[in-house]
Chain A
Amino acid sequence: MVARIFYAFLILLGGIAYGLLLGGISRKITARLQNRRGPTIFQNFIDVWKLFRKKTAISHGVMFYLAPMFRLVGGAGTFLLVPIVVGHPYLSNFSFGGDLIVIMYFMVLGCLGMALGAAESGHPHSPIAVTRGLSLMAGYELPFVVSVVVLMIADKTTTVEGIVRAQQGGILHWHIFTHPFAAAAAFISLLGMMMSYPFQVVMAPQEIPIGPPTEYSSSFLSYMFSGRSVFAVAKYVLFMDLFLGGATNLGWAFLKTFLIFLWPLFITNVFPRFKLEQAVSFFWTWPTLIGLIDLIRIYIVR
């Protein structure tokens, strides 16, 4: 057990590092797309270190103080509940802790904690952004749930391991090919989850400059940064497990998550922004309808 915890800790550090690196890569790619040089791909490490080592910080209260921890633990917990390599003694992480339902609810914990901390700061932008974020979540959750239910029903299991096992035996067994519509719905909702650009209403730089963490500074912010990075990685890994057949070793895992990471990145750089109500309406119509195709198919075939 101790070894397992130790490895989990290492994997978590790796996940954070990978998340920060991906953030740097995305900044670099964005810069190149905009015909700039952009920062180095390690820029996020520099930022996190700088923030972490700032000399002063301010706090607005207990919840404000604890929120970054919530954020980090929420992200890390989600990351550790999703198996990276199914069946591997360490790389399957703590996936015995719960199935997909657990993961889906655990994902909210970090957001909720951060929302509370941000709200306690008393800055009006924070609750505006949080309410937007929660509304957006209500939006993208519908297509995601539709596709997840499709997988659960199709594979007759609610565990991530079970879903990964059901996809073994060749690339055409991946759910992205067996249930293309559900996968499409899920990948569109991934755009909302990653807050990539058409759905970037939370940190909308034009109105509420950086959204919820308006009052956060210094080391608090570095915690949040790390939490957000690992949370993003957790989502990529989850999508890999659900739709791309999981991974048999770390190499595949890096490759597949990197591919998934590219999808919202390319969307985000070429789109303008929806208003919130447009975003929610969009999620509740098009991707949901696409996902429903597979849902109805499952319902009939079953």
Chain B
Amino acid sequence: MVNPILIIAITLASAFFIGILQVYSKLWARLFFFLTLVFDFFAAGANFYGFLSGRITEPILVKIGGFPPPIGINLLVGKPEAAIGFLIFTIALLGAYHWERKGFPEPQGKIMVLFLLLSLGAAGITFTGDFFNLFVFIEITSIAAYGLVASAKTEKSVEAAFKYMVVGSISSTFILLSVVFLYKATGSLNMMDIASRIRNISLTPIYILILLMFLAGLLIELEVFPINGWALDVYQGADPVVVAVLAGAVVKAFYLVFLKAGTYLTLPSFFTLSLIFGGGTYLVSQFIAWRQKDVKRFLGYSSVAQLGLLILSAGFFLNPTLPAFSKHLIGASIVLFIFNHSFAKSSLFLLADNVKSSQLHGWRGILNKNPLFKFIFSTSVFSITGVPPFPGFWAKLLLIFAIPKNCSWVIGLILVGALGEIVYYYRLFREASEGEGEKVGTNLAAPLTGAILLIGAGLVAWKMFATQMGIMFNSTILLLLAFSIAIYILGFSRILQWAGSLAVVGYGIYRMVPEMGANLHGFFLALVLVGSALLLLATYPTSKRTSWTFYPAYLVVVFSMAGLVLARNWLTLFVFWELMSWASFVLINMGSRAKKAAWIYAIFSAIGAYSMLAGIYLLPGLSLTHLKVAGIMVPLLLVTGFLVKMATAPLHVWARDAYGESPDEFTPLLSGIISKMGVFGSLIAILYVIGNISSGPSFRYILGWLGALTAFFMTLIAVFQDDLKRLLAYSSVGQVGYILIGLAIASPLGWNAALYHTVNHFIFKGLLFVAAAGIIYRVGTSYMPRMGGLIRRMPLTFLSTLVAIIALAGIPPISGFAGKWLLYSALIEKGWIFITVVTFLASTVAFLYCFKILHSVFLGQLQEENSNVKEVPFPLAIVEAILFVSLGVLGAFPRLLLDPINRVFAGIPGMESPGFHYEKTLGVVSNLGHWNALFLMVFFVGSFLLALIFFAITSARVKKVGQLDVGYSGEVPKSPEDLHFGYGLYDHFRKAVKWFIYPMVTKIWEGIYEWISAFAEIVRRIYTGNVNTYAAYVILISIIIFYFFTGVK
């Protein structure tokens, strides 16, 4: 234990001493400065460690001058104080170290003095147990801060300092006044003393006014909306190190005072006030940052928002009606928030110091040139926006689940705000990773420390809180996730990484075999692991363009999916869901033109995840069993989350670009398996939740319509795509629409159809995307009109694509038809006849793009530029072969897949009978019809061979002619380009359906985005930059607070 007074006293003394010393030797002064800070760091650390390890149990009470507390000034250091103190000096040390690396700003000595004063003031604010002393420390901090802010001596910094000073003075006036009146009312200045006396005092309006005045002063310092203009200006104008310390440390001290004020000064409206100001600040700030162009101010908005969330949590934390467990969770969440925000935001500000321009466009592409910068930046952004396993995620999760159900609108507020946060942070991410940027400064040690601390804290939080929340992790999955991260080490050789990944997945399959049983989870687990292993095989790194982090992220996606399907608990499912979403975000972002796509993907992932989280929050229990819920809200929220991943209209907007622009190696997984997680989710949502609500059938009917419309419109749009992967993307989305219909029918036949189609869609769409990856790799473009005639160069790929296309179109002898047949049988049995018609039409329209793929890519004239391409790389060819053989085998023997599916559903009440049976001649027989797959296959192949042999024997000499030997009105064609019809294949059809393909949904989403940003733009104008205005806001808000909360009407 170190006496806290020592920290303050030694720092103060050293500040004076440095003031003198720096006249003689700058070097020694600096040495002394760092010695002091290191001492402070260790001293505060020792105290904090003492509390953590349990060696110190009682709060440390320091009597100054030997007077006992109520009379003398005292310092009171409990666990929270020790923590904040430690935090302050850590940040201060990091900031100072950053300065040292970068070169100390001039005048060194004065700045050192001010810096010491600032940190000691913040520590004093934290430690003190006396109100007037608090005021003094606040003033010390403020004066030091004014000086430091101005010390950059740019026009902006001076201006910011002045604004800060004016508003700060008003704030300290409020605090001083209220302290003095408090003394007048209670006769004491000691916090504990006042707290005990205050209970005996009747709360007259005047008295409440005094307390409110104190609170108003604090709220100004805590930067609540709209009296935070000064703070934003400071963030924008001041030296980033100063800002980092202010935002990371000093504000946290004020927050502690806020908590203390809430605890000691029993204020009846504290809860309401913190809700209004915290929530309001949080919500508004997250949105007005959308169009901010200056990165530092933008980070400022984010800081303000985070503080708002903290204030909000404080309101709940101090709410006496809260149950103890919730209180515990909120306390933990506050700690995590503080930690998260301090380190992440300080890191970001210090990173911003390394970039020359603070404008958004100045950040363009800098992530691509600076790997370490990218690491720190991504870690910080992920942590702030709440990506697992970083502390921000756990903080948000804990907070949400601690909020009582009668305040569920607060959840909405938090989640909407978080969505806004995602939008602008990933806009920054997008800007910073797009194109080729320039090299940035290398002063990254301090932010790197922050980032590492964040990761550590995240893991610690995971360990500490996951089980408390009821989140259960399969230890194998955790081990495999650890392996996945470890694959990063092999990054010097992509091939090695690839092989290592295969080994890890193989090991995973080996370990997971017992879990792959005949139940829903086991079925999907098998799909995920085996499917991923196959697709992983096809990611064979043919060139250096695969990113170093590709395989770790890929494996994380795979194993989080495995964890997801194994989850027996909604919250576990959610954690893995988020892990999967964000890991796939990382992967999508690797595509060279995918930055915008990744941004949109992030937004929609967040929409889905947050709405799912809200749904889970509203569920009566967390386990995956039948849950009774009332009303339509919960299923709606849950299903929205899953529909986003399935890219069902109108939530499909992300899919086109995400599928189209993500790395070619990753797209098969995205389409083949990740979208199936949405299927899994919807299935369990329908099974456990929607099945139990009274409006379940109509809800499912609407889902069915959604699926049908998705299938129809996406298919229609796919017809007009000229980019191979975008076409496949739309097709994929449309196909998942069929699965959704099957799920929505919720009859045995329907679910059989859905699961069959799920597996089938994985096979053929995985195959198509793998083939696309190979083709794009060989040809160098994904623009179909520039291909053509590749059948001459890639026969195997053509054959497998052909089979996959036949499966996709659902033409009988290949397995794709089984899903179609089951689906139509189920639909007609159910009597959803309009959906049947739409679905039928959709699958007919699908022939159009099927032909387009085959024709534009493989048939027609081989172009001059492609005349030397080769067959796809060998591993891809193997995967193609495996997949297309399995398509053929399933086509002949659908029972191979139907039997396991039947067993999956056998355990579910009401689903025991699959709705069809097998007969020898009729094949699969349902109540309505029959279909003999084996006969069709034999018949087709047999008669085809017969016809072929007959033809080959009898027909005339067949001469294989050259590519341009075509009847061309007697002309000799000049080049293949003249003859190839690849561009605008369906322009005539477009004229017929132009009303249907207007991108209405995209326009609506864009409109929503534009409207919100425009509105935010207007709101943002209240920060006029004029100090009079700022002061007026302060006064106005204070008056409003006084008027509404004193109880005087």
Contact = CB atoms under 8 A, between A and B. Distances in A.
Q: Do chains A and B touch in the complex (CB under 8 A)?
A: yes
Contact of A280 (B792, B854, B859, B989): B989
A287 interface: no
B958 interface: yes
Q: Which 5 A-B pairs have the closest CB atoms?
A: A99-B929, A158-B929, A280-B992, A277-B992, A119-B859
Given A59-B961, A277-B989, A137 B847 contact: yes
Nearest to B922: A96
Interface string B29-60: 00000000000000000000000000000000
B365 to A, nearest CB: 41
B931 A218 contact: no
B956 A54 contact: yes
Given A66-B948, A77-B940, A116-B859, A122 B963 contact: yes
A97 B928 contact: no
Contacts of A77: 939-940, 943
B825 A55 contact: no
A66 B809 CA distance: 20
B831 interface: yes
A161 to B, nearest CB: 10
A281 B834 CA distance: 19
Interface string B822-849: 0011001001011011001100110110
B954 interface: yes
Interface stretch (B197-205, B977-985, B999-1007, B1014-1022): B977-985
Contacts of A98: 812, 923, 929-932, 936
Interface in B959-997: 959-961, 963-968, 976, 979-981, 985-986, 988-989, 991-993
A284 B996 CA distance: 12
A219 interface: yes
B652 interface: no
26 contacts: A58-B960, A60-B966, A62-B791, A65-B958, A73-B940, A77-B940, A96-B932, A101-B824, A102-B931, A108-B809, A108-B811, A116-B802, A119-B855, A122-B789, A122-B964, A122-B966, A127-B985, A132-B988, A135-B989, A142-B837, A146-B837, A152-B828, A157-B929, A159-B930, A214-B967, A299-B834
- Identify the interface centre among A100, A112, A153, A214: most chain B CB within 10 Å of its CB: A112
Nearest to A146: B837
B492 interface: no
Contacts of B940: 73, 77, 109
Contacts of A94: 935, 939
Interface of A: 52-63, 65-66, 68-70, 72-73, 76-77, 80, 94, 96-102, 105-106, 108-109, 112, 115-116, 119-124, 127-128, 130-132, 134-135, 137-139, 141-142, 145-146, 149, 152-153, 156-159, 162, 214-215, 218-220, 223, 275-281, 284, 295, 298-299, 302
A96 B810 CA distance: 19
Given A105-B812, A119-B859, A302-B831, 8 more contacts: A59-B961, A77-B943, A100-B929, A112-B847, A115-B851, A131-B851, A131-B985, A215-B966
A281 B992 contact: yes
Contacts of B812: 98, 102, 105-106, 109
B811 A59 contact: no
B921 interface: yes
B860 A122 contact: yes
B184 interface: no
Interface of B: 789, 791-792, 795, 802, 806, 809-813, 817, 820-821, 824-825, 828, 831, 833-834, 836-837, 840-841, 844-845, 847-848, 850-852, 854-855, 859-861, 921-923, 926, 928-932, 935-936, 939-940, 943-944, 947-948, 951, 954-961, 963-968, 976, 979-981, 985-986, 988-989, 991-993
A295 B840 contact: no
A122 to B, nearest CB: 5
Nearest to A127: B981
B904 to A, nearest CB: 24
Contacts of B943: 73, 76-77
Contacts of B834: 295, 299
Contacts of B989: 131, 135, 138, 276-277, 280
Contact of B844 (A70, A141, A214): A141
Given A105-B811, A112-B806, A152-B828, A69 B931 contact: no
Nearest to B828: A152
Contacts of B960: 58-61
Contacts of B833: 149, 153, 295, 298-299
Contacts of B802: 116
Contacts of B939: 77, 80, 94, 97
Contacts of A295: 833-834, 837
B828 A130 contact: no
A96 B928 CA distance: 13
A120 B852 CA distance: 12
Contact of A69 (B806, B845, B944): B944
A63 B791 CA distance: 9
A109 B802 CA distance: 12
B955 A280 contact: no
A122 B957 contact: no
Contact of A145 (B841, B929, B988): B841
B981 A112 contact: no
Contacts of B930: 96, 98-99, 159
B935 A276 contact: no
B980 A124 contact: yes
Nearest to B810: A105
Nearest to A104: B840
A124 B982 CA distance: 9
Nearest to A142: B841
A82 to B, nearest CB: 14
B964 to A, nearest CB: 7
Contacts of B935: 94, 96-97
Nearest to A283: B992
B958 A57 contact: yes
B988 A276 contact: yes
A102 to B, nearest CB: 5
Given A295-B837, A299-B833, A134 B851 contact: yes
B922 A152 contact: no
A155 B930 CA distance: 15
A278 B828 CA distance: 31
B992 A139 contact: yes
B993 to A, nearest CB: 7
Nearest to B976: A122
Contact of B921 (A56, A80, A96, A116): A96
Contact of B854 (A55, A59, A62, A119): A119
B852 to A, nearest CB: 8
A57 B955 contact: yes
Nearest to A150: B833
A284 to B, nearest CB: 8
B986 A59 contact: no
Given A116-B859, A134-B848, A158-B825, A122 B955 contact: no
A21 to B, nearest CB: 21
A98 B936 CA distance: 8
B28 to A, nearest CB: 83
A128 B987 CA distance: 10
A141 B931 contact: no
Given A59-B961, A96-B921, A134-B847, A276 B811 contact: no
Contacts of A73: 940, 943-944, 947
